[in-house]
Chains A and B, each alone.
Chain A
């Protein structure tokens, strides 16, 4: 497709940095629960079926939290989706139209995946008799569906920047020049490492969540469980960091074209690139050190969770920078060169509502301190 002159695009309603900031912030927040249903869910159903007693306990805990985590993940996912469409419409829409049936299948798969999680969690709440094979199968089904949804998402977002392949893909998947929506981006060398990379990050998030949950939220569990959970978190954190390093190296050194590599290893941006490669080890190393020095406490484990959050944030920033470089293939002047006519009034309204909304949320959660303990099931 011919390159687009940035000046020909309609004006952005907010400065580009503002759009990018909320896109990255939203994606970082989205990754926390999304990682838990991506890697955590499959581990939970596996351990729920084949694990030791503590492993089953861990699986149950995570699956009981999962309906809320899925809701949070979908919710946070809306923010990057909204801002992606503001600044990147000319790349995002063509890509998703070329794979329209697969893209819309995300919605079709998400509904049974979400209800499957509920069915499994209701089975857990009802005690051993309530967990019928059908309810167990619903959990397995959800785990598979979420991995499949990740596969489709990576297809859509890698195709968004794989502008050079659009014409050829469209030629193969069109009728009378109209897209049939049956394409996937599997021939893109960046696709496979990108899909696998998220699994490594997801293992890291699952590890950090497990450690946090064990010391902050699992007050009713015994000391045995907490020891097991922290050991499990340690293993998952190391596995996740190693996975991220191996697949990340494949992605960076094996699939980036010269333009992206040059941009990502030039000047101060190279610091970001190296930091993105190194930071997934931070929570793992912290956990190892804290375990070694026997300093795993509620406070220190909060630092581990913070380190994982930082790892996700750095990853999201890096992805954004890479995406911007890749989209020079479509908008040579760069996506940031789009005209801006700020809509200050509505922006102010949003920011005020945002602050008030956070306040109301904080008030609601503060009320939970007045809650009586849940009757044990």
Chain B
């Protein structure tokens, strides 16, 4: 535990990753699907010498470039920024494992950026075949980027054979059980989301009915194919989930609701696409397109959230726990102490509570002495433990999955039992990784932040129910 923990009040630091990631994927999938759309449609427009359509596509290419090359690229870098801050150990493992995957992806990213600029800035100035070829170079590079990144993000959910040291390699990690389903689903997502953005853009930018109907019709096929690929990929995603992730889907109420929601929203998008642009292109008004886009974005964001949430208690399944330790460190930390095991937690104790440090050639924390501290100091050290062991998933008194309201009305003994049996009580929680003394400190802290049990509930705790 060499890394400090970043305290983000109410939200928790890892939720910043979720925020940046969701915003980014809504653009990055368009960066992939939009490339395919522009290459295919520009080729068609040249072939049919459809000047109006070419005019629209040039306008769309400008919009595409402004959204993907600027916002998409920066939010992509933003994910790097946030994962390094909120999950440094997991990021370190990922980067050391997949540095050449990322480096290879980077080459395709450079091709994307260069091709996007040439495609737009040299519109009408290059021979048609070359212009279209550059469009296809962009599309191919963008899709390969998607494949390469998906291999790495899918690894986080299920590293597969990589977990076995005997077969551990870049390749076993990359071609993990989740790779194919997620690649299929993300390819579908890119097609679907792009069609929805195209509809919205076209409904606002085009007055000409022929062009309007042409775009509605042309993008309906990829959109429906996208919806099918998302469904197929989503089913594969579920089939190849680790058992704990499937169990999380069953047991967490919020995930139950979101899982139903994602299917409902996808179904709504599918039906609207079929009865709208596919069967009745004339229906594509700005309002219809906006509704379609909003449903699509809602389905997509929900899917991303579920994908992230089912990994608990890991950031990298069976590799790094959500509280930034390796699973094989737990046993040692239970003996030596969680405070002792972290450079920053130990420095905190040494600075503020030198009386609990054993003096020797190497100063260590005397766990027994922790319980001799006054109550307020125990609570304070419990807060340190909470920050480093729990704050990755739980806010304090209010906010994201705040612990105060969760343990409302519990006694300290009940909290102690919960701490000592974290992963037994809830399989999606990490195991307790401290000594019994530290568990007492954490329990004292949890009790201190919990509001009292709400009054007026019948029956009152410990009293018989009135009849």
Contacts and interface: CB of A to CB of B under 8 A. Distances in A.
B242 interface: no
A364 interface: yes
Given A83-B99, A343-B169, 18 more contacts: A10-B93, A13-B100, A71-B69, A75-B109, A78-B106, A82-B106, A86-B95, A94-B2, A97-B5, A104-B16, A104-B78, A176-B383, A177-B345, A180-B6, A343-B100, A360-B137, A365-B114, A374-B125
B365 to A, nearest CB: 13
B110 A371 contact: no
Interface stretch (B29-37, B81-89, B293-301): B81-89
Contacts of B364: none
A8 to B, nearest CB: 9
A183 to B, nearest CB: 11
A106 interface: yes
20 contacts: A1-B2, A83-B99, A89-B91, A89-B95, A94-B3, A97-B3, A103-B81, A107-B74, A111-B71, A174-B4, A177-B345, A177-B388, A178-B5, A178-B6, A178-B384, A345-B171, A350-B103, A353-B107, A371-B125, A371-B126
B4 A170 contact: yes
A95 B235 CA distance: 42
A170 B344 contact: yes
Contacts of A206: none
A40 B205 CA distance: 36
B56 interface: no
A350 B74 contact: no
Nearest to A374: B125
Nearest to A371: B125
Size band of the interface chain B makes with A = 35 or more
B95 to A, nearest CB: 5
Nearest to B16: A104
B351 interface: yes
Interface of A: 1-2, 4, 10-14, 22, 68, 71-72, 74-75, 77-79, 81-83, 85-86, 89-90, 92-94, 96-98, 100, 103-104, 106-107, 110-111, 114-115, 118, 167, 170-171, 174-181, 343, 345-347, 349-350, 353-354, 357, 360-361, 364-365, 367-368, 370-374
Interface of B: 2-8, 13, 16, 20, 66, 69-71, 73-75, 77-78, 80-82, 84-85, 88, 91-93, 95-104, 106-111, 113-115, 117-118, 122, 125-127, 130, 134, 137, 169-171, 343-345, 347-348, 351, 380, 383-384, 386-388, 391
B109 to A, nearest CB: 7
Closest 5 CB pairs of A and B: A346-B100, A178-B7, A178-B387, A176-B383, A93-B88
A111 B82 contact: no
B92 A10 contact: yes
A357 B6 contact: no
B122 A85 contact: no
A368 B121 CA distance: 11
A373 B80 CA distance: 40
Nearest to A85: B95
A179 B7 contact: yes
B324 to A, nearest CB: 10
Given A176-B384, A353-B104, A106 B88 contact: no
Nearest to A117: B70
Majority secondary structure of chain B interface residues (helix, strand, loop or mixed): helix
Contact of B92 (A85, A106, A110): A85
Contact of B84 (A86, A93, A181): A93
Nearest to B100: A346
A71 B113 contact: yes
Given A13-B97, A90-B2, A350 B107 contact: yes
Nearest to A74: B73
A146 to B, nearest CB: 13
Contacts of B102: 82
A176 B387 contact: yes
Nearest to B351: A171
Nearest to B133: A367
B99 to A, nearest CB: 5
A114 B92 CA distance: 29
B316 to A, nearest CB: 13
B386 A68 contact: no
A371 B347 contact: no
B118 to A, nearest CB: 6
